């Protein structure tokens, strides 16, 4: 079975008298271990799609199955548990807690998963080490570079061993060199740990790191093809 | 829900970031709680002092004073008329069933001398009943007896202050002192009673037989005349009955017609002291009102700041939700934050309130009583305020939509 499966997913926003269709009848399947890039111009619905499959937002119509579980109709707290255990998020703006150490930021998903303090610390230190941030545990986000902050965010996304990592424009705030470093890190992660990665981007260079590209235009999927590696 | 310790750590950090704001928010609670502490300390302190004074003056005490006279339209004030006599006192003791003891009084001040020491003090001429009326015991020696009264013997009982000033360390019993140059033998020493409500030293006194006072020390104007009669009712419930009986008897004895005013005044000291206690209670009530208003305002202040904090930290809430915080995780976080504010304010308030009541008690000479109960009460009040006024902001935060919260700038 597919890890992520949507059937005729639609999202409509009420703006004035007419509804704006951010998504219309989107049906997509993503298998375990895939590395998918979702592309499209701004307003194409790619972020809306990501938020819905990330359980941060709810569709107005259609069905969504994550790991064979129907997501529609779940309560806020049930969604919170799914986000905590199945999904790791990486955002464009990093979204780390300010005035909080890197270590504590990484510990956050474990905290809400009731992992005991000692284990929380060990796992978080290991995750930071894996991302090359050894010795930076006590640094606060404003003491870290953009690339380092994004690595802390990735460590946070991975620490709970979530099967899916969703990255919304993860390199949007980074320079080219750091962007490549982060993308190579994601490729490695996908290859070595088998983590499913779903990436939203509008940059072809970034999308090229993935194995499959789904293109959105005006809320529709217009193309879905494997990336040919040169 | 995540562990309380982690939540408290998060709350403390959030409050520490805005130190000034947190301190100002706590101020209302600090004032409210210290007012609660002071209110309760003053309330219990004053009522304790009053009740100890009631028992030091003598419980269930009624004082009968002569009425006022008027000479050519000028009224002379209470006690200016000489209408009470020893016979009145005897009659009260004989006929009033609600009365336990009677002591007619003749008093004034005089210079007393022992050896090369001398001292000016108040001299009370009275009967042996005085000790029962005043609930006063003897620390040494014996009371006067009927024989002393009948034959106007020259014996006296000394208050502790007089003993200290005339005798120092010498045992006064059996010694002879001179009151207005008349020699009196000391037969007993009165128990110490401390200060009266008016601040007078109740131990600075000498008691002598009424007859000796009337004939030898103060001379006499009208035979058998006394300046006041002190009466002790059988118990607290009998005070009103005793007052009525005494009034009826004296009106009858003084032949006062039905529509004429009394030529004497009956005073109930317990009433006077109860009034003092009531005044203290009003003071305490006033402080209580200040305390509750201040706690209310403090609570609203906390709610206000928490609402600001929720708005400021919308993105933080979004991040927490994205990584798996449930509704109650967020709610508890903000409630704990409000609680931390109010409880810290409460603790500071308890410290200031305790200090304040100690200072107040030294200024006004009331015993300072900061009871554990009042501390507990103040502490729980501040806790309730924190939960009550913290809940709405916390509730609001927990209902944010994660995606909107994450996008919040």
Residues A50, A40: contact at Cβ < 8 Å?
A: no
The separation between the first and the last C-alpha atoms of chain B, rounded to the nearest angstrom, is 28
- pTM (whole model) above 0.95: no
pLDDT in tens, chain B (409 residues): 567 888 888 888 888 888 999 999 999 899 889 988 888 887 788 777 777 776 666 678 888 888 765 555 566 555 555 678 888 888 888 888 888 889 998 888 888 999 888 888 999 999 998 888 888 888 888 899 888 888 888 999 999 999 988 888 888 899 999 998 899 999 999 988 877 666 678 888 999 998 888 888 887 556 678 888 989 888 878 888 888 898 889 888 888 888 877 888 888 876 777 777 787 778 778 878 888 888 888 899 999 999 999 999 999 999 999 999 999 999 999 999 999 999 999 999 999 999 998 888 888 777 767 888 888 988 898 899 999 999 999 999 999 999 889 888 7
Closest CA to A97 of B316, B401, B407, B333: B316
| pLDDT above 90 as % of chain A | 79
DSSP A134-177: TT-TT--GGGS-HHHHHHHHHHHHHTTT-SEEEEESTTTTS-HH
- The closest CB to that of B2, out of A56, A114, A156, belongs to A114
- B2 contacts in A (CB within 8 Å)? 111-112, 114
Distance from CA of A55 to the nearest CA of B (A): 9
> Residue B311 is inside which H or E element, if any?
helix B269-312
Residues B306, B393: contact at Cβ < 8 Å?
A: yes
Number of domains in chain A: 1
User: Cα dihedral sign for A145, A150, A151, A153?
Assistant: positive
Residues A167, A114: contact at Cβ < 8 Å?
A: no
Q: What separation in angstroms does the CA of B156 have from each of B78, B104, B142, B172? A: 29, 16, 10, 11
Q: What angle do CA B138, B143, B145 make, to 5 degrees?
A: 165
Say yes or no to pLDDT of A214 above 90.
yes
Distance from CA of A216 to the nearest CA of B (A): 20
Strands lying side by side in the sheet with A196-200? A87-90, A164-168, A196-200, A35-39, A212-217, A220-226
Closest CA to A162 of A83, A55, A100: A83
φ, ψ for residue A69, nearest 5 deg:
-110, 130
pLDDT for the residue B42: 79
Strand partners, B24: none
Residues B149, B128: contact at Cβ < 8 Å?
A: yes
DSSP, res B367 = P
Q: Once rounded to an integer, what is the mean pLDDT over residues A148-162?
A: 93
Report the length, in residues, of chain B: 409
The separation between the first and the last C-alpha atoms of chain A, rounded to the nearest angstrom, is 30
Q: What angle do CA B369, B375, B377 make, to 5 degrees?
A: 120
Residues A39, A214: contact at Cβ < 8 Å?
A: yes
Q: What angle do CA B271, B273, B279 make, to 5 degrees?
A: 105
Give the SS3 label for residue B171.
coil
Strand partners, B70: B75
Report chain B residues touching chain A, CB-CB < 8 A. Answer: 2-3, 6, 13, 17, 315-316, 318-329, 401-403, 406
- Asked if the structure places residue A96 within a domain, the reply is yes
- Asked if the structure places residue A48 within a domain, the reply is yes
DSSP, res A133 = -
Residues B354, B369: contact at Cβ < 8 Å?
A: no
- A108 contacts in B (CB within 8 Å)? 319-320, 323
pLDDT confidence band for A87 (50 / 70 / 90): very high
- The closest CB to that of B324, out of A54, A80, A96, belongs to A80
- The pair of structure tokens assigned to B243 is 């007052």
- B320 contacts in A (CB within 8 Å)? 108, 112
Report chain A residues touching chain B, CB-CB < 8 A. Answer: 51, 54, 56-57, 76-77, 80-81, 83-85, 89, 91, 95-97, 99-100, 108-109, 111-114, 117, 156, 160
ipTM of this predicted structure: 0.93
CATH of residue A120: 3.40.50.300
- Asked if the structure places residue A144 within a domain, the reply is yes
Average pLDDT of chain A?
91
User: Cα dihedral sign for B248, B252, B257, B262?
Assistant: negative
Residue B94: count other Cβ atoms within 10 Å of its Cβ.
Answer: 10
pLDDT for the residue B68: 64
- Asked if the structure places residue A68 within a domain, the reply is no
Q: How far apart, in whole angstroms, are the C-alpha atoms of residue A41 and residue A157? A: 26
Residues A52, A9: contact at Cβ < 8 Å?
A: yes
Distance from CA of B343 to the nearest CA of A (A): 24
Q: How far apart, in whole angstroms, are the C-alpha atoms of residue B375 and residue B219? A: 59
The verdict on a CB contact (< 8 Å) between B315 and A81 is no
Give the SS3 label for residue B282.
helix
Q: Once rounded to an integer, what is the mean pLDDT over residues A119-136?
A: 93
The verdict on a CB contact (< 8 Å) between B13 and A99 is yes
Delimit the domains of chain B by residue range: 4-53+275-407, 82-262
Q: How far apart, in whole angstroms, are the C-alpha atoms of residue A100 and residue A108? A: 11
- The pair of structure tokens assigned to B172 is 């006064």
Give the SS3 label for residue A35.
strand
φ, ψ for residue A16, nearest 5 deg:
65, -135
């Amino acid at each position: 079975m597919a890890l992520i499966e949507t059937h005729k997913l639609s999202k409509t926003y009420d703006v004035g008298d007419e509804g704006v269709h951010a998504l219309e009848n989107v049906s997509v399947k993503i298998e375990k271990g895939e590395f998918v890039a979702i592309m499209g111009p701004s307003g194409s619905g790619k972020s809306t799609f990501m938020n819905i499959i990330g359980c941060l937002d709810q569709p107005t119509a259609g069905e969504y199955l994550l790991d064979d579980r129907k997501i529609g109709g779940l309560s806020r707290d049930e969604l919170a548990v799914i986000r905590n255990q199945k999904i790791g998020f990486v955002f464009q703006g990093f979204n780390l807690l300010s005035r909080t150490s890197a270590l504590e930021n990484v510990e956050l998903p474990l905290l809400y998963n009731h992992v005991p303090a000692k284990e929380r610390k060990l796992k978080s230190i290991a995750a930071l080490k894996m991302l090359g941030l050894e010795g930076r545990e006590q640094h606060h986000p404003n003491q870290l570079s953009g690339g380092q902050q994004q690595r802390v965010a990735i460590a946070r996304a991975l620490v709970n061993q979530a099967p899916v990592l969703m990255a919304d424009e993860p390199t949007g705030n980074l320079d080219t060199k750091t962007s490549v470093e982060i993308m190579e890190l994601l490729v490695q992660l996908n290859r070595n740990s088998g983590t499913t990665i779903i990436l939203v981007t509008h940059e072809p260079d970034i999308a090229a790191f993935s194995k499959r590209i789904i293109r959105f235009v005006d809320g529709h999927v217009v193309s879905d093809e494997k990336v040919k590696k040169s | 829900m995540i562990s309380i310790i982690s939540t408290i750590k998060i709350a403390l950090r959030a409050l520490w970031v805005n130190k000034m704001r947190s301190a100002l928010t706590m101020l209302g609670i600090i004032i409210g709680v210290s007012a609660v502490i002071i209110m309760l300390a003053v309330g219990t302190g004053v009522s304790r002092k009053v009740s100890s004074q009631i028992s030091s003056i003598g419980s269930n005490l009624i004082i009968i004073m002569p009425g006022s006279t008027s000479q050519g339209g000028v009224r002379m004030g209470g006690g200016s008329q000489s209408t009470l006599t020893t016979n009145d006192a005897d009659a009260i003791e004989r006929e009033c069933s609600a009365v336990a003891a009677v002591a007619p009084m003749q008093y004034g001040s005089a210079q007393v001398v022992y050896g090369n020491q001398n001292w000016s003090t108040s001299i009370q001429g009275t009967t042996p009943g005085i000790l029962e009326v005043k609930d006063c015991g003897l620390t040494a020696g014996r009371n006067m007896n009927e024989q002393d009264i009948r034959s106007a013997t020259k014996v006296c009982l000394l208050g502790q202050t007089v003993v200290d000033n005339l005798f120092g360390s010498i045992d006064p019993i059996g010694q002879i002192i001179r009151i207005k140059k008349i020699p009196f033998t000391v037969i007993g020493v009165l128990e110490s009673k401390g200060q009266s409500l008016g601040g007078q030293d109740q131990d600075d006194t000498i008691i002598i037989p009424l007859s000796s006072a009337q004939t030898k020390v103060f001379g006499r104007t009208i035979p058998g005349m006394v300046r006041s009669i002190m009466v002790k009712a059988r118990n607290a419930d009998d005070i009103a009955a005793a007052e009525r009986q005494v009034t009826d008897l004296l009106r009858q004895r003084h032949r006062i017609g039905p529509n004429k005013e009394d030529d004497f005044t009956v005073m109930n000291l317990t009433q006077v002291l109860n009034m003092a206690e009531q005044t203290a209670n009003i003071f305490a009530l006033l402080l209580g009102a200040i305390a509750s208003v201040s706690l209310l305002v403090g609570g609203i202040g906390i709610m206000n700041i928490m609402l600001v904090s929720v708005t400021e930290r919308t993105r933080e809430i979004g991040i927490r939700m994205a990584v798996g915080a449930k509704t109650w995780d967020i709610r508890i976080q903000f409630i704990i934050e409000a609680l931390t504010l109010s409880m810290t304010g409460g603790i500071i308030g308890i410290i200031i309130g305790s200090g304040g009541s100690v200072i107040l008690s030294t200024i006004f000479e009331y015993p300072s009583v900061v009871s554990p109960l009042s501390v507990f009460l103040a502490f729980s009040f501040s806790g309730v305020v924190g939960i009550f006024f913290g809940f709405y902001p916390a509730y609001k935060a927990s209902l944010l939509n994660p995606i909107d919260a994450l996008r919040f700038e």
